[in-house]
Amino acid sequence: MTDIKRILVPVDGSETSDRAIEEAIKIAEVYNSDIHILYVANINQLAINACLSDAILEAVTKAGNEILEKAANKVPEKLNVITTSETGSPSVTITDFADEIKADLVVIGSRGLGLVKGVLLGSVSQYVVEHAPCPALVVK
Ligand SMILES: Nc1ncnc2c1ncn2[C@@H]1O[C@H](COP(=O)(O)OP(=O)(O)OP(=O)(O)O)[C@@H](O)[C@H]1O
Ligand SMILES: [Mg+2]
């Protein structure tokens, strides 16, 4: 890991993903990396095609944009920040996205908004650490 050009930080609006952003910023400041922030709306694509009302879609999109904006606002102006919102399965979408942007590092929270306590990794961080095409840093 000699150069870190692109850091991917998947965010779900949890406090742990806020800490992931903070760690990513520290690394990006050393390497002058671009920070890609990704939010995945966990909606089944079939449901979207079939019958999700415009009002529901709008609310989901708005919530996602707020999470992205809040995360992006933490990044100092001198760093390049790119925000993206996707729909689908968070774990697979995050992994595919890391591949797509040729991320050099993924910085992800250990846990997120899930309610189950007592396990170190959530299902998303566990999948991403296992399948990401690059090194992953898990922030507690
Ligand atoms: N929908 C999402 N979009 C983008 N990043 C996400 C999303 N969900 C989780 N993440 C990332 O993964 C990290 C771990 O969250 P994860 O969902 O694995 O834990 P959890 O919510 O506690 O458990 P689970 O979802 O399995 O009940 C978060 O801190 C965040 O960085
Ligand atoms: Mg979760």
Quick: pLDDT tens for 69-108: 999 999 999 999 999 999 899 999 999 999 999 999 999 9
Q: Which residues line ligand 1 (CB under 6 A)?
A: 10-12, 14, 16-17, 20, 38-40, 42, 90, 94, 108-109, 111-114, 116, 122-125
Ligand 2 centroid distance, CA of 95 (Å) = 15
Rounded mean pLDDT of 43-65?
76
What is the pLDDT confidence band of residue 116, given thresholds at 50, 70 and 90? confident
Return the pLDDT at 45: 60
Res 108: pLDDT: 98
Question: What share of residues in the chain are helix, strand, coil (percent, to 5)?
Answer: 45, 20, 35
For residues 60 and 57, give the distance between their C-alpha atoms in angstroms, rounded to a whole number.
5
- Mean pLDDT (the chain, rounded): 93
- Domains belonging to the chain, first-starting first, are 6-139 (3.40.50.620)
Interval 34-46 mean pLDDT: 87
**CA of 122 relative to ligand 2 center, distance in Å:** 6
